[in-house]
Amino acid sequence: MFTASVAEMHRGIKIGITGLPGAGKTHALLKVIEMLEADEMKVGGMITEPIIDDNRRLGFYVMDWQTKKRAVLASTDIHSKFMVGKFGVDLEALEKVGVGALTKACESADVVVIDEVGKMEVESEKFVSAVKAALDIDKPILLTLHKKSRNPLLQDIRRRDDIRILEVTPINRNLLPYKIMKLMKGELL
């Protein structure tokens, strides 16, 4: 349905997906990645995935999209000076897998994805620097953003005039990926 080459992709477009926890930010992002890869685009960057056991969220993995290498980013089992709610955060895992994935994606991917710029991730100076560097390159970027955080990085991203921010809701979550694809191809402005 969407056949776009790298050359046709709207150069340097940056789209932020925001929404309340559980609204479907990562779900929407994964659907867009699926469509991009179906169009033979090379997607790179980092994804966070919930660690769920017996329908309970026990933490999050951080994953390098290209290599599928992952590490535990946050867990109820991690004791750390960085806590977000009940989760201890392993910044070393974020920096090793997530920051490494972003750096690689900026060099070699057609489209860079960052899931998510949120409360846990912004505790890492290396992550913050990697996100800022990614936003300054001339490649399409898709990122998911924590909706309510007042962290300086998130505020800077929201203030940028080169980023289109879209909110995912339970009502639009299935159609939003198609809108994002149209934006990325320059069909909607």
Question: What pTM value is reported for the model?
Answer: 0.91
Q: What is the pLDDT of residues 71-90, one digit of tens each?
A: 999 999 999 999 989 999 99
Query: Domain for residue 27, yes or no?
Result: yes
When divided into structural domains, the chain yields a total of 1
Question: Rounded to 5 degrees, what angle do the CA atoms 95, 123, 173 make?
Answer: 85
Q: Show the domain range for 73.
A: 14-184
Query: Domain for residue 8, yes or no?
Result: no
Residue with tokens 């860079």: 112
Region 157-179: mean pLDDT is 94
Query: Domain for residue 56, yes or no?
Result: yes
Average pLDDT, the chain: 92
Query: Domain for residue 3, yes or no?
Result: no
Indicate which CATH number applies to the domain containing 29.
Answer: 3.40.50.300
Query: Domain for residue 140, yes or no?
Result: yes
Closest CA to 135 of 120, 153, 108: 153
Question: Among 19-23, 42-46, 127-131, whose mean pLDDT is lowest?
Answer: 19-23
